[in-house]
Amino acid sequence: MYPTILRSFFALLCALALCVSAQARPLDEVIDSGELTVFVYSDYAPYSWADGDEHKGIDVEIAKAFGKSLGVKINILMRGADENIDDDLRINIWKGDLIHRKVADVMLHVPVDKLVNARNDLAVITAPYFQEQMALVVDNDVLPTVETFGRFLNNPIGVELDTAGDFFLSSAFRGQLHNSVRRGRTFADATDLYVNGDVTALLASKAQAEWVATQAKDRQSRIVQPPMPGIVRNGWPIGIAIKHDSRDLGYALGDVLTEMINNGEMKALYMSYGVKYLEPDL
């Protein structure tokens, strides 16, 4: 016979198991509640940023499409990026922040990567909807040709601090670009460096570079992709992340993304922000 305390413990576990199994599936819970909380990154134009009390960007528009399809209200949870994608998934999908413990039902703009998925067993990454690449937006009047990054040995180049582009520029040509690199603390700061003419080029994702070109109305900009040997990642598909026990919600939102891609709505959405749509390369 088990001691009384152990019998009570096992009874509690059984009761909890019954409660869990009796709960509605996450998709049903979302529909029944009438609300879907969607995480997007802050200061991440053209994907997501705050303009006063208004949220703007491609991913914000995708979130609205989720709400329209499911017939629910959308709540935007906007936060900055943490140290790495694992921390972002932990804070925004399955655990929450230290103070409020608030999490989202779905997280947008997640790299679709088997290793990332394997490291984060409490989250599921699925439904790729775009292919990211690295690129430069360049002032054509100053630099009519850019075959290699050697052009920036004597020309200032901007980049957002602590990004893949920043790490690449720090090590390129054995550190010889050090005096040419101008870093913005945020992407908005890095954008201002180019728009204001403080740098001749800006290294970012191709989508960001294309969007920056639309903001620099006084410059003759073009997008170039010279070789970037040694860069951590030059291209990657992006998708969504949901909790490990919310797969049915992930399937439903994945269907929304697939329909947007197939009917041309996704391409039109990206083009409205000055970005050429690239289908995910898996």
d(CA 67, CA 193) in angstroms, rounded, equals: 36
pLDDT tier at 269, thresholds 50, 70, 90: very high
Cα 2 from Cα 127, distance rounded (Å): 48
pLDDT at 242 (0 to 100): 96
Provide, rounded to the nearest whole percent, the portion of the chain with pLDDT above 70.
Answer: 90
Give the span between the Cα atoms of 196 and 191, in whole angstroms: 8
Contact (CB, 8 A) for 264 and 277: no
For residues 79 and 99, what is the distance between their CA atoms, to the nearest angstrom?
14
3 state SS of 215: helix
Task: Identify each DSSP E strand in the chain by its residue range.
Answer: 35-41, 49-51, 54-56, 73-79, 106-111, 123-139, 157-160, 181-184, 201-205, 221-224, 235-243
Domain spans, the chain: 24-131+236-271, 133-224
3-state secondary structure of 10: helix
Give Dmax (Cα) for the chain.
86
Give yes or no on whether 24-131+236-271 and 133-224 have one common fold: yes
Residue 5: predicted pLDDT: 43
Contacts of 70 (CB under 8 A, 6+ apart): 30, 31, 36, 252
| C-alpha neighbours within 13 Å on the C-beta side of residue 63 | 27
pLDDT of 271 higher than 90: yes
Asked whether the bond before 111 is cis by omega within 30 degrees of 0, the reply is: no
CATH T-level fold of 133-224: D-Maltodextrin-Binding Protein; domain 2 (3.40.190)
Give residue 20's pLDDT band: very low, low, confident or very high (50, 70, 90): very low
CATH superfamily entry for domain 24-131+236-271: Periplasmic binding protein-like II (3.40.190.10)
For 79-125, write each residue's pLDDT tens digit: 999 889 999 999 999 888 766 678 999 999 999 999 998 999 999 99
pTM passes above 0.85: yes
Give dist(CA 148, CA 142) in Å, integer: 15
Give the rounded percent of residues in the chain with a pLDDT score beyond 90.
Answer: 83
CA distance 61 to 40: 11
